[in-house]
Structure 1
Amino acid sequence: MAKWDNMLSVLWILRSGRKLTAAQIADSLEISVRTVYRYIDALCASGVPVVAESGHDGGIRILESFKGMPLFFNSVELKALVDAYKFAQGAGYPYTEELEHALKKMEIGLHEEQRHNLSRQTSGLDVIAPSRPPSAIPLLRDLEQAVKDGRTVRIAYRKASEAQASEREIDPYGLAYDRSEWYAVAFCHRARTVRTFRVDRIERLESTEAEFEKPDQFSASVYFRDQSSHGREADGPLTLIRIEGEPDTLNAVCGHWHMRHYLTERTDREARFLLDVPTMNRYLPIYLMTFGTAIRILEPAQLKHRVQNMAREIAKHHEDGMG
C-alpha cells in the first residue's frame, strides 16, 4: 500500500474514537511500529491533533474537536492543481472564481513550509489568456444550465461573414473548447439540424419555456470529430498543404470549423495541413480565394494552379463584362 494510503488508513483508524497503541495500528495495517510513529508525526505536521497517552490505559487518539481532513497531496500534485487553475482561467472556464476559492481552502490546510514550496514551484508557469468579450462567462454559464435543464434558448448570433446578428432558437446539447475558442453544439430550429455556434459570436441569449431531450450519449467532442470525418470526400492518402501569411490571417484560416481538424503544424508565418486530394480540390480553392493576396499557397502545386486558374477566370469574366 502506498504511503499516502497508509497514512489515510492510520487517520481513519484513529477517527473511530478508540485509543490504540502503535503496535495495534501496526498489526492492523501490516507495517512496522516505527513506520506508525513516522505517520503520526506527519499527521501532527498536517494539523491533526493526535494525542499519545502513556500508562496502563494509554494509547494514541485524536481529540474529539477534530472534524477536518488533512490534505495528503505531495508537492507535484499541489503544483498540478494550481497550474490547472491557470489553464482553466486562460481558457475562460466559467467557474474559475469557484475554482480559485477551492484552491484557497486547500492552501489553508497547508503548513508554512508547504505553502512556501508551492509558491516557489508554481512561479515559473504562466498562461497567456486570449482576449474575450465580458459576456463570455455568463453566456457559458447560461448555456451549460440550458444543457442541464434541457431548455431551448433564443440567441442573437452574428456569423463572421455577416454585419448583423440574426435571431434563432437552439437546443444546446453540449459545450466544447477547441483551439482557444468555446463552442455550443446545438440543434438549430431554423436550420433543422445540429450546428456549432461560437460563443463569442452570441450577442444575446434568453431562455424560453420550451424544453427538449438531448440525444442519448451525446458528446460534443465526438460530434466535432464526426463532422470532420464526414467533410472529407475520400479515404486514402493525404497530401501536404502549406499556406503562408500574416499571423492574423493564418489564425482565420486555421480557425475555420473544417480546416482546424487537418492542421498539423503552425508557425507565425506558415500553417500546414494534411487533407485528401478530392476534398482539397472541391473546397479549398474557393475558400482560399476569399483571403485574396493576404495568403500564399506554397504547396501543393496542384492547389496553387487551381487557384491561379480560378483567379484568371474571374478576371476574364469581369474584363468581358466591361467590353
Structure 2
Amino acid sequence: MAKWDNMLAILWMLRSRRKMTAAEIADALEISVRTVYRYMDALCACGVPIISDAGHDGGFRLPEHFNADVPLLLSASELKAIVEAAKFAEGAGYPHTADLQRALGKIRQRMNEAQRGELQRLTGSLEVIAPAQGPSLADRLRRLEEAAQAGCTVRVTYQKESGEVSERKLDPHGLAYRNHHWYAVAYCHQAGELRTFRVDRMTDLRETEERFARPERFSAAEFFRVQTDERREADGPIVRICLEGDAESLDAVCRHWHLQHMVTDRGDGEVCLEMDEPTMDKYMPVYLMTFGTRLRVVRPERLKRQVTERARRIMEFHADLTDSGCQERPLEWK
C-alpha cells in the first residue's frame, strides 16, 4: 500500500476507535512500528491533531472535537504542482478562473502555517506571463462550453484572417487551447462540415432554439490531429526527419500547427519527426530555409540535398543581381 493510502488508513482507524497503539496499527497494516511513527509525524505535519498518550494505557488518538472531514493529505510537491498548474490555466485564459481560485482558497484553508510557508517558498519563483484575455473572451468560452454540453446551436459573427466578416450558425462540439489561442470545433451549417473557429474572432454570440446531438466522447484534440493527417500531400513512404539546432528553433518546429502532431522525439539539441515523403518534399525545404543556419538537417539525405539546392539557387540569384550592378551586401543569417 502506498504511503498516502497507509496514512489515510491510519486516520480512518483512529476515527473509528478511541485509541490505538503503534503495534496495533502496524499489525493491521502489515508494516513496521517504526514506519507507523514516521506516518504519524507526516500526519501531524499535514495538520492532523494526533494525541500521543504515554504509559501502560497509552496510544494514539484524535481529539473529541476533531473535524470529521479528511484533512489535506498532499505533499509539498503535489501542492506546488496544483498551484503552478493553476497559474498556467489562468495565463491561457481559462474561463473558470474564479472557480479555480475558490478551490485553491479551500485548499489553503486546510493547510497549517508550516505548509503555507513551504508552499510560498516552492512556488514563489515561477510566474506565467501571457497576453491579457478580456472578460468578453472568457464569457464566450463559457457560453460555447455550455452550448456544447447542452447541444445548443449558436449564431456568431465571425471574422476570418483575411478580414472577411460573415454570420455563422454553429453546433459547438468542443474547445481546444492551441498555440496561445482558443479554438471552437463546431459543425458549420453554411459549410456543411466540422470546422475550427478562433474564439477571439467571434462576436455577437447568440443561442438559438435549435438543438443538435453532440457525438459521444468527442475530442477536439483528436479532430486537430485528423486534420493534420488529411493535409498530407499524398500516400507515400513515411520518412523519419532529424533536425539539430538551438532550443528556440526546435521549439518553433514542435509548436508548428502542421508539424506538432508529427514530432516523435525531442532531445537535447535535436528533434525528430515522421511524415510522408510527398509532404516532406513540398513543404520542408521551404520551411527549413526560414531558419537560416539555426537548424541543420541530420537526416534524411534527400532533404539535405533539397535544402542545399535551394540555398545554392538563392546564392546564384543574388550573385546575378550583384553582377548586374546592384550594390553588394553581405548575406547574414540571424
Pairwise same-fold verdict (TM > 0.5): yes
Does residue 160 of structure 1 match 2:158? Answer: no
- The alpha carbon displacement at 1:48 in A equals 2.3
Amino acid at match of 1:188: C
Q: Residues 80-159 of structure 1: matches in 2 within 5 Å?
A: 80-159=81-160
Q: State the alpha-carbon separation in 1 of the partners of residues 192 and 205 from structure 2.
A: 19
Which residue matches 2:21?
A: 21
- The alpha carbon displacement at 1:194 in A equals 0.5
CA deviation vs aligned residue, 1:164-194 (integer Å, no higher than 9, x gap): x321111111111111111100100111110
Which residue matches 1:10?
A: 10
- The alpha carbon displacement at 1:276 in A equals 5.6
- The alpha carbon displacement at 1:202 in A equals 0.6
Q: State the alpha-carbon separation in 2 of the partners of residues 257 and 24 from structure 1.
A: 59
Larger mean Cα displacement after TM superposition, 119-128 or 35-44: 35-44
SS at match of 1:135: helix
CA deviation vs aligned residue, 1:79-100 (integer Å, no higher than 9, x gap): 1111101111111111122112
Alpha carbons of structure 1 residues 202 and 50: separation in structure 2 relative to 1, 3 Å: same
Q: Residues 240-259 of structure 1: matches in 2 within 5 Å?
A: 258=258
CA deviation vs aligned residue, 1:248-285 (integer Å, no higher than 9, x gap): xxx9x999965776799xxxxxxxx987675578899x
Amino acid at match of 1:128: I
Which residue matches 1:40?
A: 40
> How does the TM-score come out when normalised to structure 2?
0.71
Does residue 201 of structure 1 match 2:188? Answer: no
Q: Residues 223-302 of structure 1: matches in 2 within 5 Å?
A: 223-234=223-234, 235-236=236-237, 258=258, 278-279=278-279, 300=307
Q: State the alpha-carbon separation in 2 of the partners of residues 139 and 27 from structure 1.
A: 57
Q: State the alpha-carbon separation in 2 of the partners of residues 237 and 301 from structure 1.
A: 22
Larger mean Cα displacement after TM superposition, 104-113 or 87-96: 104-113
Q: State the alpha-carbon separation in 1 of the partners of residues 31 and 277 from structure 2.
A: 65
Larger mean Cα displacement after TM superposition, 91-100 or 124-133: 124-133
Q: State the alpha-carbon separation in 2 of the partners of residues 215 and 196 from structure 1.
A: 16
Unaligned runs of 5+ in 1: 243-250, 265-272, 289-294, 308-323
Which residue matches 1:78?
A: 79
Which residue matches 2:68?
A: 67
Q: State the alpha-carbon separation in 1 of the partners of residues 312 and 215 from structure 2.
A: 44
Q: Residues 44-63 of structure 1: matches in 2 within 5 Å?
A: 44-52=44-52, 59-63=59-63
Amino acid at match of 2:81: A
Alpha carbons of structure 1 residues 160 and 209: separation in structure 2 relative to 1, 3 Å: same
- The alpha carbon displacement at 1:113 in A equals 2.1
CA-atom RMSD, angstroms?
3.8
- The alpha carbon displacement at 1:105 in A equals 1.6
- The alpha carbon displacement at 1:216 in A equals 3.0
Contact 1:232-1:279 at 8 Å conserved across structures: yes
Q: State the alpha-carbon separation in 1 of the partners of residues 54 and 76 from structure 2.
A: 35
Contact 1:17-1:62 at 8 Å conserved across structures: no
Q: State the alpha-carbon separation in 1 of the partners of residues 52 and 256 from structure 2.
A: 66
SS at match of 1:132: coil
Q: State the alpha-carbon separation in 2 of the partners of residues 35 and 276 from structure 1.
A: 56
Alpha carbons of structure 1 residues 216 and 44: separation in structure 2 relative to 1, 3 Å: closer
Contact 1:239-1:277 at 8 Å conserved across structures: no
The count of aligned residue pairs is 284
- The alpha carbon displacement at 1:101 in A equals 1.7
Q: State the alpha-carbon separation in 2 of the partners of residues 141 and 208 from structure 1.
A: 16
Alpha carbons of structure 1 residues 73 and 260: separation in structure 2 relative to 1, 3 Å: closer
Alpha carbons of structure 1 residues 38 and 257: separation in structure 2 relative to 1, 3 Å: closer
